[in-house]
């Protein structure tokens, strides 16, 4: 009888398994063919999982949404999949649409959009286009490691700056500092703001939760440099995981405020679709002693389930624990002076790009 091999953590990767996507007719399971040598639970010297990057041939670049609990109606994702490997990432299930796993495939099989800047310029040039804040980093991180080589995010920013189009960015990476020469003048013109995602100040926990993301100390340093450059900067403490990193909430906000953050937000852990399985596997591998407590608290905030999709509660949860978390966040922000001022970005400066076809139409 052929036995399935146990899933184990791999160095530098967040997901423990490569769970089959929900649209696939067959489930894939790794098995021992007899050539491994040794017991299935031996710690084999496995080769590292390498990252591959394919080209995404999308013909449009601006994604639209009408979710009432999301503060933007349009966004851009330069990449599908994310090498940061955050085990809790709510974008993981999107890889199932590609016939791939939301597990390790999501963080090792990436898709880049090298035509993003050209497609964006063409979209902004349409007479029907009306400007509003463009969000980046809402699904996958635009400054993940592959961006150092491909530079797609920078090209997008160049288009937005030429068009005087407002942009809001969320990232875990200090690579954003590369683009200070664009973001600083945009911010001075009221066209840019940045949120740094900070989930923990503990390096060991960060390596397990988000193995290829920038270290927490460097994220705080990036926040400080953004603020010093005059860019409205804030912190996003997301997700807060009960009995794992929730105890750090006040410390995270204090570190961010000390670095110059003016705003803050948080999101309670969300476990839709395949992420439930991936997160439970991750707990088994890294925090088996806490698993029962963590999942019990999650269920207390989700009506007895591991996830509820209702837009009124999916970001913050409900019940006593969720209410306590919300109260702690509000008190800490008030004490630290966070979220004191409302923010808005300017849409009145928008300059519609003049594409080649538009110029020819004038002749």
Residue 2 lies inside a defined structural domain of this protein: no
Structural domain total, the chain: 1
- The predicted pLDDT at position 68 comes to 82
Q: What is the largest CA-CA distance in the chain?
A: 76
Lookup result for tokens 């980093």: 137
Task: Provide the CATH number for the domain around residue 148.
Answer: 3.80.30.30
Residue 285 lies inside a defined structural domain of this protein: yes
Residue 202 lies inside a defined structural domain of this protein: yes
Dist CA 328 CA 206 (whole Å)? 22
- The predicted pLDDT at position 22 comes to 84
HEC profile for 186-236? HHHCCCEEEEEECCCCCHHHHHHHCCCCCCHHHHHHHHHHHHHCCCCEEEE
Residue 363: band (very low, low, confident or very high) from pLDDT cuts 50, 70, 90: very low
Residue 218 lies inside a defined structural domain of this protein: yes
DSSP 113: -
Residue 25 lies inside a defined structural domain of this protein: no
Mean pLDDT value of segment 139-165? 97
Q: Which two tokens stand for residue 71?
A: 């503060």
Lookup result for tokens 């349409």: 126
CA atoms within 13 A on the CB side of 100: 17
Residues with Cβ within 8 Å of residue 235, at least 6 apart in sequence:
195, 196, 197, 198, 223, 252, 253, 256, 261, 263, 264, 265
Per the structure, the complete domain to which residue 130 belongs is given by 52-339
The tens digit of pLDDT for each residue in 49-90 reads 899 999 998 899 999 988 888 888 999 999 999 999 999 999
Dist CA 262 CA 112 (whole Å)? 33
The tens digit of pLDDT for each residue in 286-324 reads 999 999 999 999 999 999 999 998 888 889 999 999 999
Residue 28 lies inside a defined structural domain of this protein: no
Cα dihedral 187/192/197/203 (nearest 10): -40
Residue 206 lies inside a defined structural domain of this protein: yes
Residue 315 lies inside a defined structural domain of this protein: yes
């Amino acid at each position: 009888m052929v036995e399935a091999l146990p899933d184990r953590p791999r160095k530098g990767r967040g997901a423990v398994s490569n769970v089959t996507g929900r649209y696939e007719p067959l489930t894939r399971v790794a098995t021992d063919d007899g050539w491994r040598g040794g017991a299935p639970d031996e710690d084999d010297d496995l080769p590292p999982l390498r990252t591959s990057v394919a080209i995404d041939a999308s013909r449009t670049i601006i994604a639209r949404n009408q979710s009432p609990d999301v503060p933007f109606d349009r966004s851009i994702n330069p990449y599908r999949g994310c090498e940061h490997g955050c085990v809790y990432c709510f974008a993981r299930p999107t890889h199932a649409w590609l016939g791939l796993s939301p597990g390790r495939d999501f963080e090792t099989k990436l898709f880049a959009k090298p035509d993003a800047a050209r497609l964006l310029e063409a979209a902004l040039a349409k007479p029907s286009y009306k400007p509003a804040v463009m969000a980046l980093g809402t699904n996958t991180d635009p400054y993940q490691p592959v961006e150092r080589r491909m530079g797609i995010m920078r090209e997008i920013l160049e288009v937005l700056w030429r068009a005087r189009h407002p942009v809001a960015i969320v990232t875990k990476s200090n690579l954003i500092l590369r683009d200070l020469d664009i973001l600083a003048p945009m911010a001075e013109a009221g066209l840019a703001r940045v949120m740094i995602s900070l989930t923990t100040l503990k390096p060991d926990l960060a390596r397990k939760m988000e193995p290829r993301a920038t270290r927490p100390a460097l994220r705080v340093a990036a926040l400080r440099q953004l603020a010093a450059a005059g860019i409205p900067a804030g912190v996003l403490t997301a997700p807060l995981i009960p009995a794992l990193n929730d105890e750090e909430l006040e410390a995270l906000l204090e570190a961010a405020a000390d670095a110059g953050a003016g705003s803050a937000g948080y999101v309670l852990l969300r476990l839709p679709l395949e992420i439930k399985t991936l997160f439970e596997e991750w707990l088994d591998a890294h925090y088996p002693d806490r698993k029962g407590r963590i999942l019990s608290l999650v269920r207390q905030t989700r009506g007895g389930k591991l996830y509820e999709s209702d837009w009124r509660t999916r970001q913050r949860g409900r019940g006593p624990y969720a209410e306590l978390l919300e109260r702690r966040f509000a008190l800490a922000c008030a004490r630290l002076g966070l979220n004191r001022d409302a923010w808005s970005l300017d849409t009145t400066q928008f300059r519609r790009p003049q594409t080649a076809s538009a110029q020819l139409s004038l002749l």
